[in-house]
Chain A
Amino acid sequence: MGGPACLVIDASPEQSADLEHIRSEVVARLGALEGRYSRYLSDSLVSTINGRAGTGEFTELDTEMRALLDLAGQLWGASDGLFDITSGPLRRAWNFQNSGSASPEHIASALQLVGWDRIEWRDSGLHLPEAGMEIDLGGLAKEYAADCVMRLMREAGVSSGMIELAGDVATIGAQRNGKPWQIGIQDPRGSGSLLTVSLTDSAIATSGNYARKIEHRGRTYGHLLDPRSGWPIDGPASVSVIDSHCLTAGAVATVACLKAEAGAAEWLAHAGLPWLMADEDLALHGPIAEAVPTSG
């Protein structure tokens, strides 16, 4: 799924013997999840589904895949189609890796291949009706992986731990000294952090327009695209959300980033979870910013 991973287990000296065992289990679990949900691995479940697009062949879904797709469908509905795991062809049309521009014809033809509501469902399987359509669970699978690791560690008896997967953080308990985990939220433009939050037994997910950029007709846009129009979204620079689970937090943050700032704030208030939004000028908004003095 890309991005750095960091695992911290705060254990007493007696527990240290188990640590290597837990670490290897975590690594194995993350590897297994990547093997299922990465669109970069040609034999992943996601690649299998994408490879069968337009062939008429349905792919059977197991409970886990089904649940993640259910969530994707919920988000698609709740965001009025803004969050769409089928928007991959658009990303290719804009070609972020290179020039970062697209012709209207390219966008129009890519839009023909986008649409969650076009997925065909049958019994326990799905099929993408046209060749070139694809699904991308990258936006959900990383947060899901963090939740799986939390579960695994809890079952292994860890009472104090933390995992960070490319900017998303999930925590178990507090640190062993009783202090909450201190999590820095990355500055979307720089290398420092916007502010630091204290977490216990909860997760914080951050979604944003940082890392990748496109320039079009003299304007700078983030890499996020509106799957309905095919054009980049002029959304907030970054949004962070705290919830008991990383996946729900990440889902809420991701959708917020797909909306203009006013719409994002409304969505976040509707979700009712603690949130932080950095606008275009990196001014901070939301309950987290109000509760925590900035570290900078």
Chain B
Amino acid sequence: MVATEQRRRPLPSSSPLIRRLSQSLLVLPAYQALPSVADAPPAFTEVGLRYTRYSEDSIDRDAVIFGATDRYDIDITQLWIEAPVGASWSVALDVQNDYQTGASPWFVGAQQNGEPGVIMSGASIQDNRVEVGVTTRYFWADGNAGLSVSHSDEDDYEALALALDASWNTADDARTWTASVSSSRDTLNPTQGVIPVFISEADLDTQSGYFGVSQILSRTAIARIGVNYTYSEGYLSDPYKLRDQRPDTHERIALSAGYRHFFIDRDAALQVDYRYYADSWGTDSHTLELGWAQNLSRSLITPYLRYYSQREADFFSVIADTSALDYADDYRLSSYGAVTIGARWAIAVNGAWSLEFEAERYMSDASWGLFGGDSAPALVDFWRGTVGVTWRFD
């Protein structure tokens, strides 16, 4: 995803009341030692480091016909530096490393009792992915525009992406328009390992565009809507699955709506986000996310709840029908529902240092879905935990 939001405002270190009072004054030179909220490059250089542990639950022994029950664990490290350049530019460098171990379903077959079961991909794989991205952003009085280039490299997959985004405010600053476009070229070179792979190299091209608007509704409410269209052409199957033959084009539309409401007496914000997604493979889905961002004296704690439900792809079946034109037994294309419960805690240690912690639990089940369909045997549950530290200096 390309970030098309306005830059995050730094977590202030004083009380919400003083922050609000100070905000009125930031346009005046006498107070401009404080970080500015206008569309201007950050007044400081920011260096950040985040570490995330992603860990999938072992697959249920009863659902496995053959192979290990351990699934993926991923260690993700994000490092970035973002700095102002001159009066109206900023540059950010992002480096991300993902180290992944574990096994994944190879194909689904029938067990002796007639129930579908998973044949896992044998020995644990290890894969390291490094993504490097550079974003330059230009700020003017009523908006900002960014250009970013990113490159992702791993043993068997390489992706190069270019994105351009802009957001601008209307004259009364009550409405902000956002648009972005991106293009990416992915190249697969599947590694020949324990499981046989039937291609040696394949390409995938993706074009995507987003257009959205956010509108201030009242002094405590703001809403936005947006539409995202993405078109991919090329090799879209999963080379590490035995029975996976997908169309070579994929059209996707995502409609999103968001709402934020600040409750003054509670000193907290309600966050509501909804997305409807539909694609040319017959999948559509609803995603609803609710958060409660509670201000504490020097920190912000945000418990959140996410519900997701998708309809299976036209060519999905629990046990793939290889006589069809397209077929897949990938659980990710089945009908199911998923619930995420999580919390995020951002702490301003002082003006220069801030910390963040986040933990979430993701659980999925075919019976939680809104759409009908047969239940796939390998739905995933996972934990994710993130710790991060950010340092700002002039």
When A and B assemble into the complex, do they touch directly, with CB atoms less than 8 Å apart? yes
B18 near A63 with CB under 8 A, answer no
| Interface-side segment among A188-196, A209-217, A220-228, A268-276 | A268-276
- Interface check B135, CB cutoff 8 A: no
Partner of A272, one of B22, B27, B29, B297: B297
Rounded to whole angstroms, the CA-CA distance of A16 and B259 in the bound complex is 58
A247 near B25 with CB under 8 A, answer yes
A147 near B31 with CB under 8 A, answer yes
Which of under 10, 10 to 19, 20 to 34, or 35 or more describes the interface residues of B?
10 to 19
Inter-chain contacts of A272 with B (CB < 8 A):
14-15, 17-18, 297
Partner of B28, one of A64, A243, A251: A64
Inter-chain contacts of A75 with B (CB < 8 A):
21
Rounded to whole angstroms, the CA-CA distance of A270 and B27 in the bound complex is 25
Interface mask (B1-42 → A, CB under 8 Å = 1, otherwise 0) = 000000000000011011011111101111100000000000
Inter-chain contacts of A247 with B (CB < 8 A):
25, 31
Inter-chain contacts of A74 with B (CB < 8 A):
20-21, 23-24
Rounded to whole angstroms, the CA-CA distance of A78 and B23 in the bound complex is 14
- What is the chain B residue whose CB lies nearest that of A145? B30
> Which of B18, B28, B30, B219 gathers most chain A CB within 10 Å?
B30
Inter-chain contacts of A70 with B (CB < 8 A):
24-25
- Interface check A102, CB cutoff 8 A: no
A273 near B18 with CB under 8 A, answer yes
Rounded to whole angstroms, the CA-CA distance of A150 and B297 in the bound complex is 28
Rounded to whole angstroms, the CA-CA distance of A74 and B16 in the bound complex is 12
B30 near A248 with CB under 8 A, answer no
- Interface check A148, CB cutoff 8 A: yes
Partner of B17, one of A64, A66, A148, A270: A270
Inter-chain contacts of B29 with A (CB < 8 A):
151
B21 near A248 with CB under 8 A, answer yes
Within 121-155 of A, Cβ neighbours of B (below 8 Å) are at 144, 147-148, 150-151
Interface mask (B192-233 → A, CB under 8 Å = 1, otherwise 0) = 000000000000000000000000000100000000000000
Inter-chain contacts of A107 with B (CB < 8 A):
none
- What is the chain A residue whose CB lies nearest that of B28? A67
Q: Is the interface of B mostly helix, strand, loop or mixed?
A: helix
- Interface check A71, CB cutoff 8 A: yes
Inter-chain contacts of B28 with A (CB < 8 A):
63-64, 67
Inter-chain contacts of B30 with A (CB < 8 A):
144, 147-148, 150-151, 245
Rounded to whole angstroms, the CA-CA distance of A144 and B27 in the bound complex is 13
Within 243-296 of A, Cβ neighbours of B (below 8 Å) are at 243, 245, 247-248, 251-252, 270-273
Rounded to whole angstroms, the CA-CA distance of A270 and B15 in the bound complex is 7
Inter-chain contacts of A252 with B (CB < 8 A):
17-18, 21
Q: A78-B17, A271-B17, A272-B297 are in contact. Are A71 and B31 (CB under 8 A)?
A: no
Distance (Å) between the CB of B63 and the closest chain A CB?
54
A248 near B22 with CB under 8 A, answer yes
Inter-chain contacts of A251 with B (CB < 8 A):
21
Distance (Å) between the CB of B39 and the closest chain A CB?
15
Distance (Å) between the CB of B320 and the closest chain A CB?
61
A71 near B18 with CB under 8 A, answer no
A67 near B21 with CB under 8 A, answer no
Distance (Å) between the CB of A103 and the closest chain B CB?
37
Partner of B18, one of A67, A147, A151, A271: A271
Inter-chain contacts of A78 with B (CB < 8 A):
17, 20-21
- What is the chain B residue whose CB lies nearest that of A152? B30
Partner of B25, one of A67, A73, A150, A273: A67
Rounded to whole angstroms, the CA-CA distance of A75 and B297 in the bound complex is 20
Rounded to whole angstroms, the CA-CA distance of A211 and B25 in the bound complex is 29
Interface mask (B140-156 → A, CB under 8 Å = 1, otherwise 0) = 00000000000000000
Inter-chain contacts of B25 with A (CB < 8 A):
67, 70-71, 245, 247-248
A67 near B27 with CB under 8 A, answer yes
Distance (Å) between the CB of B96 and the closest chain A CB?
37
Distance (Å) between the CB of A243 and the closest chain B CB?
7
Inter-chain contacts of A150 with B (CB < 8 A):
30
B31 near A271 with CB under 8 A, answer no
Interface mask (A37-76 → B, CB under 8 Å = 1, otherwise 0) = 0000000000000000000000000011011001101110
Rounded to whole angstroms, the CA-CA distance of A63 and B15 in the bound complex is 25
18 contacts between A and B (CB under 8 A): A63-B28, A64-B28, A66-B27, A67-B27, A67-B28, A71-B25, A74-B21, A74-B23, A74-B24, A75-B21, A77-B219, A78-B20, A147-B31, A150-B30, A251-B21, A270-B17, A271-B18, A273-B18
Binding site for B on A (CB under 8 A): 63-64, 66-67, 70-71, 73-75, 77-78, 144, 147-148, 150-151, 243, 245, 247-248, 251-252, 270-273
